Structure 1
């Protein structure tokens, strides 16, 4: 951490030397103060819209920077004054709102030093390059694009050096990867053309146009920031909803999601088969081995059930070792055949488990209750589930490893046991 502090201060004092050693004012002080106030005001406003990124444990923010145009216009000394006022405004604002990071104070010196050095280089390159590009069609804009790329590369060099000192980047390959991941050509183009327009307007002292361009940039950035926040919020809501509706052990939907889907299907009026299934003698498995083996058996059971279902069907973990399937838009006979195939598939398969440092093949059987009906013709989904659960109990009472089924649609339909 001491090396990082020394690095921050080295950049800062080097920037001080450049600003006061090479940075004489070449513009009227009143003009400078007007430009300084406008840039400070809008840079401070824009700072709330900057995007925070993280590399390992080190956070940094990025977004469009106006320092290139201000540095070319005001020179290194004027740039140093702007960066110092702006960066400490941000620092004290974050301190007062209690959003400042632990190292915010030292990071302020890094930001001042790095930005003054980067855009002072931009200033000198502009002075050297402008006479060469002046006679070329669109030469000014080509030069601004070159400066945007150059200053961005220097900025990433300073950052990657900081990461190297902190141990976040440990090799040249990681540094190259950081460059590639950080680069965005659209952002570079936006930086080049925004700073180019600002520079032309500053030189002509078109203050109302400078303010107008800043307002336009602010509104566009604000709009994108709001949309980005909305998208992020939706992603987070979807993620939490998925977590709330997913069984952590098996990865399939849980009882809460089953209740939600049943409520939705109550409006459909379609023909469904509700199947309630569980693992026979599951307590014996836990008692004979342990709960880790029991969990592995439940996972195997869930995966087996999933393999037999179509994309329109559902399977849920509705209890400890109990699972519920909803088979949609199939004839009753097809429901029976499918459930019987599932029962046979579970009976003839086994799951390999680790117990007492040895591999064991555990075989299981399962019992099923199938209730077939037209939703809300006489019976709701919730009632259908209760009837299927009762049929499961009959399978258990009849000796387990059986399918007990009932079709509600024909009058006086008998109960079938397989």
Structure 2
């Protein structure tokens, strides 16, 4: 059964100062008392049930099988985090176990399983400072929620003949799964409120009702229903087979999820390595990589090098923070004119390089002129010394258009575009100097 398991977020390095700080933290103290109260409530429910409702031999067999497979499933848990509280979505089969053995049997199973996990985390040095009370909470929460489901099942059984009504048993299992899961989420939301992670009622309601889907409930209900039926009928071979099948399938999905997560992390790190921190566009490293790829393309391409005119004056008249805002505005403006196939790189301080693709020379030239005018007629609004200031600026461009081939590499085309940028600067700035490498024509 996929239900949240509480894990406090704490520093793994335990020392005297951390313990003193924790003792002075009223929220942490309240959370520990809450964990203990949940456990004591579960203990009271278990004791009040007085006995295990099946023969001892059957209970021991069921206990061993459920303990072994639950311990194996522990490695397939999914971690999540909310503010100061960590929690795991673990696989649990408490509902089938409590229906077969009763609340006392479930309490014994949960205590054995949770302290197995506790010992493992201590042994592997992955335990949190609050590991012990978190263990008590998890025992208590699972026993309380599933014991409530157990008593509701008895009431439903006294009212409804499951064998008489088509699918009556499975409908009841689905309802019990929903109730147990919602109760468990409610306990966890209470913990979030105590820790200060939730501030409003809406946050709690959203967590309770939006963190799970009907498909999740259905999978849990079917699995626990089958396990319960196998337990009742003494079909231990079928029971173990179902556990093994569930484990293999879960392991497969978990491995795929881990691979996807690792790929996502690699892509994220790669994106960070290739992204300019200030502007969010590609950096010089990515430009070198992409140019090496384009060098083999044989396509017609426009290499544009551009920068902001008199940028030093902006920094001198205002400050570097304002200068950064102007650079960000320049990058954003350039990007707004480009198609998906085009590339924009920050190749220097206020210098940017564009690779304009899949256009003929006239289209490329017109686009550069359009960008030039767009920047001239636009301004960036910044805050300076407590006032809002509008700063106008211009930019100069150098365009070299050619077909990528062995005679002229894209790196050489970049140098030519850079030289054309200097020509624009020498001719008075706020202009574009262009060369059509296919026609050997120069336009200024």
TM-score for the superposition, normalised by structure 1: 0.93
Q: Is the 8 A contact 1:247 1:317 kept in 2?
A: yes
Which residue of structure 2 aligns with residue 43 of structure 1? 70
Contact 2:53 2:100 in 1 (8 A): no
Paired residues of 1:133 and 1:143 also in contact (CA < 8 A) = no
The Cα offsets for residues 34-62 of structure 1, whole Å up to 9 and x where unpaired, read as: 11110000000011112223332212222
Shift of 1:92: 0.7
CA deviation string 1:349-393 (max 9, x = no partner) = 333333333343333232222212110152111111011112222
CA RMSD of aligned residues (A): 2.0
Cα distance in 1 between the residues matched to 2:226 and 2:121 = 31
Question: Would you say the 8 A contact 1:246–1:254 is kept in 2?
Answer: yes
Aligned to 1:17: 44
Taking structure 1 as reference, are residues 54 and 300 closer, same or farther at Cα in structure 2, changes over 3 Å only? closer
Secondary structure at the counterpart of residue 48 of structure 1: helix
What is the aligned counterpart of 1:61 among 64, 79, 88?
Answer: 88
Find the aligned partners of 1:363 and 1:170 in 2 and give their Cα distance. Answer: 44
| Counterpart contact for 1:148–1:188, Cα < 8 Å | yes
From the superposition, tell whether residues 340 and 127 of structure 1 become closer, same or farther in structure 2 (CA, over 3 Å).
closer
Is it true that 1:284 corresponds to 2:313 in the alignment? yes
Q: Distance in 2 between matches of 1:230 and 1:83?
A: 31
1:186 matched residue in structure 2: 215
Counterpart check, 1:313 vs 2:338: no
What SS does the corresponding residue of 1:324 show, helix, strand or coil? strand
Pick one of 170, 177, 184 that aligns with 1:141. Answer: 170
Distance in 1, matches of 2:367 and 2:336, equals 11
Most deviating of 96-105 and 122-131: 122-131
Contact 1:64–1:191 (8 Å) recurs in 2: no
Equivalent of 1:379, from 396, 408, 412? Answer: 408
Q: 2:156 aligns with which of 129, 135, 157?
A: 129
Deviates more, 1:56-65 or 1:369-378: 56-65
What are the residue-to-residue correspondences of 1:18-417 with 2, within 5 Å? 18-131=45-158, 132-134=160-162, 135-410=164-439, 413-416=440-443
Contact 1:23-1:75 at 8 Å conserved across structures: no
Q: Which residue of 1 aligns with 2:3?
A: none
1 CA distance for matches of 2:338 and 2:197?
47
Distance 1:268 1:89, change over 3 A: same
Deviation at 1:414, TM superposition (A): 4.9
Per-residue displacement from partner, 1:325-369 (whole Å, max 9, x unpaired)?
112233333333332333333334333333333343333232222
Change over 3 Å in CA distance of 1:163–1:343 after alignment to 2: closer
State how far apart, in whole Å, the 2-side matches of 1:92 and 1:365 are: 67
Runs of 5+ in structure 2 lacking a partner? Answer: 1-27
Aligned to 2:76, the other structure's residue is in SS state coil
Cα shift readout 1:194-220 (whole Å, capped 9, x = no counterpart)? 111111111222211111110111111
**Change in CA separation of 1:42 and 1:388 when aligned onto 2, cut-off 3 Å:** same
Which protein is bigger by CA-based radius of gyration?
A: 1
CA contact (8 A) 2:421 2:433 kept: yes
Query: Secondary structure, in 3 states, of the residue corresponding to 2:344?
Result: strand
Superposition deviation, residue 171 in structure 1: 4.2
- Alignment gaps of 5+ in structure 1: none
Report how many aligned residue pairs link the two structures: 415
How far, CA to CA, are the matches of 1:147 and 1:262 in structure 2? 60
